[in-house]
Structure 1
Amino acid sequence: MKPGAMTPLEQYVRSAVAARRAERGPLLPILHDIQATFGYVDQAVVPILAEELNISRADVHGVISFYHDFRKSATSGTHVRICRAEACQAAGAEALVAHAQERLRADVGGMSPDRDATLDQVFCFGNCALGPTVEINGRISGRVTPQRFDALIEKT
């Protein structure tokens, strides 16, 4: 790449900022755009966003690290998120998490050894009456038992 030339990531981030600059509080929507496009929020976007939005790098980093929805690395294969908020815990989420870790061979926040699955936790999908709730590749399911989890994984 030529010195001074922008990377595709930098080009995308700058265009995403330009498209949302006039919005009130554009940082969150821009971060969602970046994650939707790339699958995660690369740390390389922090200084670009800080510069473009005239905020500190610490502010950008703080938002990325505060919201659990923002991944800091790429996912692979099947992406599973399990709710661990109080309502889902009361409905059996902890046993489901243990089962998912064994089934996927992945710790929460990690990937399986074959990089075929990523397992993450969430603290509320807003599906509390139907807990425990699981999201697999963007599709939410409620009242998930270990057996239902296995069936859902088989469908992916």
Structure 2
Amino acid sequence: MDETQAGVLNTIEDLVGSIKHKPGALLPILHSIQDHFGYIPDPAIGVIASHLRCTEADVHGVISFYHYFRSQKPGRYVIEVCRAEACQAQGGREFEQYVRDKLNIGFDQTTPSQDISLKAVYCLGNCATGPSIRVGDDIKGRMNPAKFDRLVDELTTFKLELK
């Protein structure tokens, strides 16, 4: 085990240890780990199972049941594309196809450069200005191919931090 792996395991141990005594600790533990790493690293499953005295299958089952949890490191930016009916009525299906073609990835995939991950969501609460996407905490409405191209150029060329 190298120093990086040991550091990851120590961090996971600390996160799990600080929450494990709370009732219904599994979901708060998973949220804490994903908030820290951006995903649930594989070694976390065994650590969680050991601390909560359950099976690794139990932990994996919860991770795979909830779409929010990721088991792979996401790209630097996660672009969420709204697939709800209101956005579909505003051309969302065509826009979504454009996004997948432009990035050359599907939903729940990451570009080879590790810059962008793509995620389908079902309502961003921006129904009047669909189609909509979210990057970080920033929701963008009335999206179209030209606006999306500019956004991707900004994210990949300038490596902007969205707040």
TM-score higher than 0.5: yes
Q: Paired residue for 1:107? A: 106
Report the Cα distance in structure 2 between the residues aligned to 1:64 and 1:85, rounded to whole angstroms.
Answer: 24
Report the Cα distance in structure 2 between the residues aligned to 1:59 and 1:129, rounded to whole angstroms.
Answer: 41
Asked if 2 retains the 8 angstrom alpha-carbon contact of 1:34 and 1:41, the reply is yes
TM-score by length of 2: 0.77
* Residue 119 (structure 2) pairs with residue 120 (structure 1): yes
Report the Cα distance in structure 1 between the residues aligned to 2:58 and 2:82, rounded to whole angstroms.
Answer: 27
Q: Paired residue for 1:33? A: 32
Asked if 2 retains the 8 angstrom alpha-carbon contact of 1:82 and 1:122, the reply is yes
Asked if 2 retains the 8 angstrom alpha-carbon contact of 1:127 and 1:142, the reply is yes
What amino acid does structure 1 have at the position aligned with 2:121?
Answer: V
Asked if 2 retains the 8 angstrom alpha-carbon contact of 1:84 and 1:94, the reply is yes
Of 31-40 and 113-122, deviating more is 113-122
Report the Cα distance in structure 2 between the residues aligned to 1:142 and 1:37, rounded to whole angstroms.
Answer: 29
CA RMSD of the aligned region, Å? 2.5
Report the Cα distance in structure 1 between the residues aligned to 2:31 and 2:110, rounded to whole angstroms.
Answer: 22
TM-score by length of 1: 0.80
Provide closer, same or farther for how the CA distance between residues 130 and 17 of structure 1 changes in structure 2, counting only shifts above 3 A. farther
Moved over 6 A (4+): none
The alpha carbon displacement at 1:26 in A equals 2.2
* Residue 139 (structure 2) pairs with residue 140 (structure 1): yes
User: Structure 2, unaligned stretches of length 5 or more?
Assistant: 156-163
Asked if 1 retains the 8 angstrom alpha-carbon contact of 2:129 and 2:142, the reply is yes
Of 92-101 and 145-154, deviating more is 145-154
Report the Cα distance in structure 1 between the residues aligned to 2:18 and 2:48, rounded to whole angstroms.
Answer: 13
User: Structure 1, unaligned stretches of length 5 or more?
Assistant: none
Provide closer, same or farther for how the CA distance between residues 57 and 94 of structure 1 changes in structure 2, counting only shifts above 3 A. same
Question: Secondary structure of the residue that 2:42 maps to in structure 1?
Answer: coil
Q: Paired residue for 2:48? A: 49
**Offset from partner CA, 1:74-112 (integer Å, 9 cap, x none):** 123332121223333333322121111122222222222
The alpha carbon displacement at 1:137 in A equals 3.7
Report the Cα distance in structure 1 between the residues aligned to 2:124 and 2:19, rounded to whole angstroms.
Answer: 26
Provide closer, same or farther for how the CA distance between residues 66 and 91 of structure 1 changes in structure 2, counting only shifts above 3 A. farther
The alpha carbon displacement at 1:61 in A equals 1.0
What amino acid does structure 2 have at the position aligned with 1:17?
Answer: V
1:4-19 to 2 correspondences below 5 Å: 7-19=6-18
The alpha carbon displacement at 1:62 in A equals 1.5
What amino acid does structure 1 have at the position aligned with 2:104?
Answer: R
- Number of residues of Structure 1 aligned to a counterpart in Structure 2: 153
Report the Cα distance in structure 2 between the residues aligned to 1:109 and 1:24, rounded to whole angstroms.
Answer: 31
Asked if 2 retains the 8 angstrom alpha-carbon contact of 1:106 and 1:117, the reply is no
